[in-house]
Amino acid sequence: MRKIIGINGSPRMNWNSAKMLDSALKGAADKGIETKRIDLYKLKYTGCRSCFSCKRLGSPGFGRCAVNDELKPVLDEILDSDGLIVSSPVYFGSDPGMVRSFFERLWFPSHTYSSDETVAYDLHLKVGLIYTMNVPSAHYYTEFLESQKNKFDSMVGETEVLCATDTLQFDDYSKYSSSAFDPVHKLEVHESSFADDLRRAYQMGQTLLG
């Protein structure tokens, strides 16, 4: 049975990114694909430790991350799967730190320093990258999103990117310092555009593995 691992890159377990992920995984499951959701913020791990074990010639761990923490079995399971969907908020125009640490550990073992063979293994994974963000348009982050896609394409596998913009950040805007936002507009977007975003995520799950 084909399998997709879904990674929730938000510390919030049931907000925008998690909902987008669940919708994508539901789309995959409805196609008969095995799915598994993993919440990064429940795990204890670090970024790359620069041990270079993944690049050591002749090592049985060549091309795999050797850091033995709670991320290691997740990385191994991802590489043994057919697809990966990561859904994450944008923090300060980039990845949240936990997500970046996960990406370092995923990307670096695949990337060799050899001039004739630049990747350590067959890039068989199909990848869906989902970003949710406060800004009203993904064009704010075109450069970042393209750079993420390029890294995934070249170090993990063929990647498609999906964004949910203008997301709802709080249940009740009146309880927070948030006068820069119009809560009525935020709720309207949540009920209309975000519903469309969830449908697009479902579609991603349906088609990711072809």
Ligand X SMILES: Cc1cc2nc3c(=O)[nH]c(=O)nc-3n(C[C@H](O)[C@H](O)[C@H](O)COP(=O)(O)O)c2cc1C
Tokens 């348009």 appear where? 137
Query: What is the rounded radius of gyration, in angstroms, for the C-alpha atoms of the chain?
Result: 18
Applying CB under 6 A, the span of 16-24, 34-42, 142-150, 193-201 interacting with ligand X comes to 16-24
Tokens 């991802």 appear where? 78
Tokens 């507009």 appear where? 185
Supply the minimum distance, in Å, between the C-beta of residue 54 and ligand X.
30
Residue 110 interacts with ligand X (CB under 6 A)? no
At residue 98, the 3 state secondary structure works out as: helix
Residue 35 interacts with ligand X (CB under 6 A)? no
Residue 21 interacts with ligand X (CB under 6 A)? no
Applying CB under 6 A, the span of 27-35, 68-76, 88-96, 155-163 interacting with ligand X comes to 88-96
Q: Which is nearer to ligand X, 92 or 113 (CB)?
A: 92
Size of the site for ligand X (CB under 6 A): 17
Residue 109 interacts with ligand X (CB under 6 A)? no
